[in-house]
Amino acid sequence: MSARPEGASALVTGASRGIGAAIAVALAEGGWPVAVNYRSDAAGAAATVAAIERAGGRAVAIQGDVADPAAAPALVDAVHEQLGPLGVLVNNAGVRADGLALTLSDEDWRSVIDTNLGGTHRLTKAALREMIRARYGRVVNIASVIGPRANAGQANYAASKAAVIAFTKTVAVEVARRGVTVNAVAPGLIETDMTESIPDTLAERVPAQRAGTPAEVAAAVAFLVSDAAGYITGTTLYVDGGLSA
């Protein structure tokens, strides 16, 4: 087992609100200096940073669109310069563009795939170089319960999240001997801005009979990046109230 390198930092993409913000706060509570990535919500990112700092943690906000191929190396470099070597990467940034498969435009398909899957691939690739050199790293990819199960109207989103799970497994096997773990967390129905348009009746399909909270997803991520989870890699942890059972 390799120990967390001194001064190592964490990067959470899409951390200006919702699940991403909760993850950033949880990692800061675990002693990680956290880079709060955002695409356009500068105010939200600043609020996440402020919440971390009020609790005695260290954080910076870093702008970047993960769908942009040039963003990944720039983000990793910025984290290194402002906080220290990257020890944890949480690929959380994601978008939706719902519609039936027969009516989905090429643009709606591309935007979801480029962000949810392409961004995950590019950031992981950029981060792994540093992690492998340090022989330590934790990568957590935020997937979705929609990946392995059908949800009409979300063919693009489901395809992207199913691919994230497959990507996670494969990369985990490739780097397991290097002291780097790669896992996924698959939330179900979680109370966030992205789920506001989902009918309330969906909660009735959840065995727990309620929606989850961003903090509950964040707790799963915090566990997977902890020393206690050093022998866990290539797996997907579902946080869905039994929806995938």
Name the active-site residue from 38, 157, 231, 238: 157
Query: 68-97: string of b/e by CB count within 10 Å (b at 16+)?
Result: beebbeebbebbeeebbbbbbbbbbbbbbb
Active-site residue flag, 38 = no
Q: How far, in whole angstroms, is CA 223 from its chain's centroid?
A: 14
Instruction: Name the packing angle between helices 42-54 and 18-29 (round to 10°).
Output: 30
CA distances from 196 to 193, 199, 202, 216 (A): 5, 8, 12, 18
H helix runs in the chain, sequence order: 18-29, 42-54, 71-82, 106-113, 119-134, 155-175, 214-224
Tokens of 63: 């702008």
- Alpha-carbon gap, residue 92 to 86, rounded angstroms: 16
Number of other CB atoms surrounding residue 191 within 10 Å: 16
How far, in Å, are 76, 190, 217 from residue 214 at the CA level?
25, 7, 5
- In contact, 99 and 48? CB cutoff 8 Å: no
- The catalytic site residues sit at 157
